[in-house]
Chains A and B, each alone.
Chain A
Amino acid sequence: MIVHPLARRRRFRLGLLSVLTFGSVLAAAWYPIAADAQEPKGTLNIALATFANETFLPDSTPGAEMVFSNYMFEHLVRRDPNTGENLPMLAESWQAQDGAATWVFKLRRGVKFHGGFGEMTCEDIKATFVKGARPGSANTATFLKKLKEVQCPDPYTAVVKLNSPHPMMLNEVNSGVFAQVTYINSKKALERGDDAANRHPIGTGPWEFVSHTFGDRVEYKAVRNHWRKTPEFDRLVLLKVPEAATRIAMVAAGRVDIAEVGVDFIKELKAAKVETRAIPEFASIGITLGGMWPDRGPGTSMAKLPWGPLDDERARKVRLAFNKAVDVQAIREQIFGGFLDPTAVTMFFPGKPWTPNLKPYGFDVAQARQLMKEAGYPNCFEFTMLMVTWPGRGYGPRAGEAVASMLEKNLGCKITREPMDRAIFSRHFGARTYPGKALAYAFPQVGTEPWEIWIRIGHSKGAAQITGFEHPTMDDFLDRISREADPNARAKLQKQMAEWAYRQVPRIELGGTVALFGVSKRVGKWPLVPGQGVPHYTEYITRVD
């Protein structure tokens, strides 16, 4: 076919225009890297339930502190809100060597610390990691426990050497994963001593520290011409407001722009006509059945455990009956306002990629009663359910109460409810001293793959035990997965692990839920990373005037 030169030129122009338009749309859609749109103006107020340990130092922050400090710091890596992919942040590129026992990070040039503390270099990475790894450090990033040394062959290359392979390293130096506090501090700032470093912390983030009134507020100001993104708001004020009702009132009245609100307050938020933003895949909620582990001394074992040991068929029937006696849909609607995705296996959520062929056990009271009869408990039995309140996950007791009521009504169980403070119960996690007790608890998502939380709280050698059972098969799965550097092979092993756990019915499974925020009309677009349960990427929030 002969094409006229003018038509060809027109086509070329049209093609070029299409490419440019498409490119512009893509660039606009991927706004985290887009150029600054406008001069920072006004104040972004955020009301939070807790500031956790309220410290900025890398060796005194177990994880939840990022709720009030991550705005001013940056990590080596970040996560794309849409794809979950790891993207460069302070590190431009990275490479795993020696089977993931050595990690080489190529650092971004020209990134400045606030307050004239100079350019970020490898020495700052080294100082941060070494401080976080010191004996007695509260930082729980697993790689810090394995840290051998950090070498700086040049100012822009950091070689992190570990005592053993650590394939999930990137998840622990990442701003887009919950409870990761390995943000990079200035070496010079740390050298001023803990007191000075904590009173006036220095970071490289888009918000610069201004002031901190302990237990009340933290104020930041926007960093003009920040290398990544200058915020659209001039100031960021975090307020600690312990009462949920007050936080809802403040956001409803427009006195704060973002309020952290538990998902169990969704009805109150709707009644107050407050717009909400939900971070999916934040927590997995259910009832842990304690005591399915070997005797470790006083208080750790129970001679006759109706729901254990794990391999016992009679006990498995009890656990299955418990699951079938609970109307998860009713709990989903009544307590979680629809924000609960029923899951088949604890902490495997969202279920689709990990457990595509597994379905929740389902609500069937007749079958549940039959199973209890077969297990030798036609009228159920007596036990205690611990209702643990956790900052940011306050719905545990309400969900626990719903499950307890259903087990009493449908199976005839007699359940003593015991409210339990987080601090007190933490001890039981470590010491395994809650055999025979059920526990209403929501696991937070701490990594991008399910095994990352399982290995922390479900391994027999783990420092804590919150899954309720320990088993050699589970240990074996976790050990193999943790050594596996190939993500596809890890995914395959995790699917096998999920199928095994599903057959064992280890827990009363409810599902995965979200982290919920009420927002004012001034909050426009806000990219949120699934699983990251605290306010983040506030620099990308667009201001609605």
Chain B
Amino acid sequence: MQRYILGRILQLVVSLLVVVTFVFLLSRLSGDPVQLMLDVRATEEEKQALRVHLGLDKPLPVQYGVYLQGMLVGDFGRSILSRRPVLEHIWERLPNTLMLGAVGILFSIAIGVPIGVYSAVKRGTVLDHVARVFAVMGQAVPTFWLGIMLILIFGVWLAWLPPGGKSGPESFILPAITLGYFTAAAIMRLTRSSMLEVLGAEYVKFARIKGLHEQVVVWKHALKNATIPVLTFSVMLFVIFLGGAVVTETVFAWPGLGRLILEGINTRDYPIVQGGVMVFSAIYLLANLMVDVLYSYFNPKIRFARPGG
């Protein structure tokens, strides 16, 4: 087991290194931040002086080496624009993204699971068809469009909820729905198929024969087993949420990490982009590792399996 975990950690480190290198190179290819920081009237001498000041005059391998060295000691560098440590910006923004992701996933589960259950129980009925349309729409509607529509209806026409920005608890509602609708649809489909499978199981038939009330059979006995894959899937969805929050955060002017990275890309603020992507990647890889370890703990077959054999 220990060997398996060590192997997976090694894979994680290699994956992170690949991500770092890839992001470092891509961000350099996208343009020169000095062009943005200075006015168009700036002379070449002024631009060069600023490059020297920011350390951008050094060859790429040197810049890469300096960056890696810093990362090993927890130094992600300083933002080119704000000149403040990148980690400071990340800590400022990450909680907002995590909170929004958490509310979004709760919304997804709160909507997706009951609809999935009803859809399975009432299979073939109008309710089932409506639920499936809900699921298809959820996965087909673009996030930015949904966000703007919600802003228009609930923010402008009805004026019930704030159309943007992070203020009180009410400001979470629209972005969380926007973020969560796609996954609510996915969770609904997974719950439905999982429930259909469980509802046909022998122990459920036995419960019915015993004369238990149908609500107890469905919600207590069937759902308990049907939600296991749903919950596992939800953990992974939450991690995907974090990366996918860029659009939602931009539409709702949400001060999250996704928007910070996007703005970093627009302003060629390399350290911000690198640091932000690194954090997202690390969270994703760590969550993957945790799920793998838990799976292998519960199912020893996985840990001993070898590719091709």
Q: How far is the CB of B172 from chain A (nearest CB, A)?
A: 15
Interface string of B81-114 (1 = CB under 8 A from A): 1111000010011000000000000000000000
Q: Which of B41, B164, B266, B268 contacts A255 (CB 8 A)?
A: B164
**Interface-facing stretch out of A163-171, A348-356, A462-470, A517-525:** A462-470
Give chain B interface residues in 156-211, CB to chain A under 8 Å.
156, 159, 162-165
Selected from B44, B163, B250, the residue in CB contact (under 8 A) with A250 is: B163
CB contact list, A167-217 vs B, under 8 A: 179, 194-195, 198-199, 213-217
A311-319, A397-405, A418-426 - the one binding chain B:
A418-426
B255 contact set on A, CB distance < 8 A: 213, 215-217
B25-84, CB < 8 A from A: 31-33, 35-46, 49-50, 52-53, 79, 81-84
* Chain B residues within an 8 Å CB radius of A136: 46, 49-50, 52-53
Given contacts A215-B259, A255-B163, A255-B165, is CB(A137)–CB(B81) below 8 Å? no
User: Does B120 lie at the interface of the complex (its beta carbon under 8 Å from any beta carbon of A)?
Assistant: no
* B40-A54 in contact (CB<8A): no
Q: Is the CB of B32 within 8 A of A427?
A: yes
Is A239 an interface residue when CB atoms closer than 8 A count as contact? yes
Nearest A residue to B48, CB-CB: A136
Expressed in whole angstroms, the Cα–Cα distance for A179 and B46 within the complex equals 18
Q: Are B263 and A463 in contact (CB under 8 A)?
A: no
Name which of B36, B162, B163 has the most chain A CB atoms within 10 A of its CB.
B163
Shortest beta-carbon distance from A445 to chain B in Å: 15
Contact of A246 among B41, B46, B251, B268 (CB under 8 A): B251
User: In the bound complex, how far is the Cα of B53 from the Cα of A140, in angstroms?
Assistant: 17
B residues less than 8 Å from A53 (CB atoms): 36-37, 81, 267
Q: Given A243-B253, A253-B156, are A424 and B42 neighbors across the interface (CB < 8 Å)?
A: no
Give the one of B40, B42, B82 with max A CB within 10 A: B40
Asked if B40 contacts A457 (CB within 8 A), the reply is yes
Interface residue A138 (Cβ < 8 Å from any Cβ of B): yes
Residues 45-100 (chain A) with a chain B CB within 8 angstroms? 47, 53-55, 60, 62-63
Cα–Cα, bound, A462→B40 (Å): 10
CB distance from A520 to the nearest CB of B (A): 12
Q: Is the CB–CB distance between B82 and A423 below 8 Å? A: no
Given contacts A140-B39, A462-B41, contact A241 B82 (CB under 8 A): no
Whether the pair B155, A55 counts as a contact (CB closer than 8 A) is no
B135 an interface residue at 8 Å Cβ cutoff? no
Looking at the assembled complex, report how far the CB atom of A412 sits from the nearest CB atom of chain B, in whole angstroms: 34
Compute how far the CA of A179 lies from the CA of B159 in the bound complex, rounded to whole angstroms: 36
Pick from A199, A215, A241, A426: contact of B35, CB under 8 Å: A426
Interchain nearest-CB distance for B112 vs A (Å): 27
- The residues of B that contact A466 with a CB separation of less than 8 Å are 40
The answer to whether B151 has its CB under 8 Å from any CB of chain A is yes
A254 interfacial by beta-carbon distance below 8 Å:
yes
A427: which B residues are within 8 A, CB to CB? 32, 35
B162 contact set on A, CB distance < 8 A: 250, 253, 255
Give A318 Cβ to nearest chain B Cβ, in Å: 27
Interface string of A270-302 (1 = CB under 8 A from B): 001000000000000000000000000000000
Indicate which residue in B35, B82, B155 contacts A249 across the interface (CB closer than 8 Å): B155
Query: Which residue of chain B has its CB nearest to the CB of A427?
Result: B35
Asked if A245 lies at the interface with its beta carbon under 8 angstroms from chain B, I say yes
Interface size on B, residues (CB 8 A): 48
Q: Which residue of B lies closest to A62 (CB)?
A: B39
CA distance in complex: A185, B148 (Å): 41
Q: Say whether, besides A255-B162, A457-B40, A457-B41, A243 and B83 are in contact (CB < 8 Å).
A: no
Kindly state whether residue B260 has any CB partner on chain A within 8 Å. yes
Q: Is the CB of A423 within 8 A of B42?
A: no
Residues of chain B lying within 8 A (CB to CB) of residue A429: 40
Q: Contact mask A444-487 → B, CB, 8 Å, 1/0?
A: 00000000000011000011101000000000000000000000
Is there contact, CB below 8 Å, between B164 and A246?
Answer: yes
B10 lies within 8 A of chain A by Cβ: no
Contact A246 B151 (CB under 8 A): yes
* List of B residues within 8 angstroms of A216 by Cβ: 253, 255
What CA separation (Å) do A60 and B31 show in the bound complex? 19
CB of A371 closer than 8 Å to a CB of B = no
A153 on interface, CB distance cutoff 8 Å:
no
In the complex, are the beta carbons of A430 and B163 less than 8 A apart?
A: no
B252 partner, pick from A60, A138, A246, beta carbons under 8 A: A246
- Tell yes or no: B216 within 8 A of A by CB: no
Cβ of A228 under 8 Å from chain B? no
Q: Are A422 and B164 in contact (CB under 8 A)?
A: no
- What residues of B have a CB within 8 angstroms of the CB of A241 in the complex? 164-165, 253
- For A138, the chain B residues whose CB sits under 8 A away are 37-39, 42, 46, 50
Whether, in the assembled complex, A252 has its beta carbon less than 8 Å from a beta carbon of chain B, the answer is yes
Contact (A249, B81) CB under 8 Å given A213-B92, A254-B159: no
Q: Which residues of B contact A242 (CB under 8 A)?
A: 250, 253, 259, 263
Least Cβ–Cβ distance between B91 and chain A, in angstroms: 12
Assess whether A464 is in contact with B155, with CB atoms less than 8 Å apart.
no
How distant is the Cα of A464 from the Cα of B44 in the complex, in angstroms? 10
Report if B9 contacts A (CB, 8 A).
no
The reply to whether A246 and B163 contact each other, CB–CB distance below 8 Å, is yes
Report whether A249 and B152 are in contact in the complex, using a CB–CB cutoff of 8 Å.
yes
Return the contact of A140 from the options B42, B83, B252 (Cβ within 8 A): B42
B41 adjacent to A54 (CB under 8 Å): no
Asked whether any CB of chain B lies closer than 8 Å to the CB of A240, the reply is yes
Distance between B245 CB and nearest chain A CB, rounded to angstroms: 14
List the A side residues contacting B45 at CB < 8 Å. Answer: 135
Q: Which residues of A lie under 8 Å from residue B148 when comparing CB positions?
A: 245-246
Q: A136-B53, A427-B35 are in contact. Are A198 and B83 (CB under 8 A)?
A: yes
CA distance A397 to B250 in the complex (A): 21
Min CB gap B279→A, angstroms: 16
Q: Which residues of B contact A424 (CB under 8 A)?
A: 31, 35
Q: How far is the CA of A240 from the CA of B256 in the complex (A)?
A: 12
Question: Could you write out 14 A-B pairs with CB less than 8 Å apart?
Answer: A53-B37, A55-B82, A138-B42, A214-B92, A216-B253, A216-B255, A242-B263, A245-B251, A249-B155, A249-B156, A253-B159, A255-B162, A423-B35, A424-B35
Give residues in B with beta carbon < 8 Å to A. Answer: 31-33, 35-46, 49-50, 52-53, 79, 81-84, 89, 92-93, 148, 151-152, 155-156, 159, 162-165, 250-253, 255, 259-260, 263, 266-268
Going nearest first, the 4 A-B pairs with the smallest beta carbon separation are: A136-B49, A62-B39, A216-B255, A249-B163
- Further 9 A-B residue pairs, CB within 8 A, beyond A138-B38, A245-B151: A60-B37, A63-B39, A140-B38, A198-B84, A249-B164, A250-B162, A250-B163, A250-B253, A253-B156
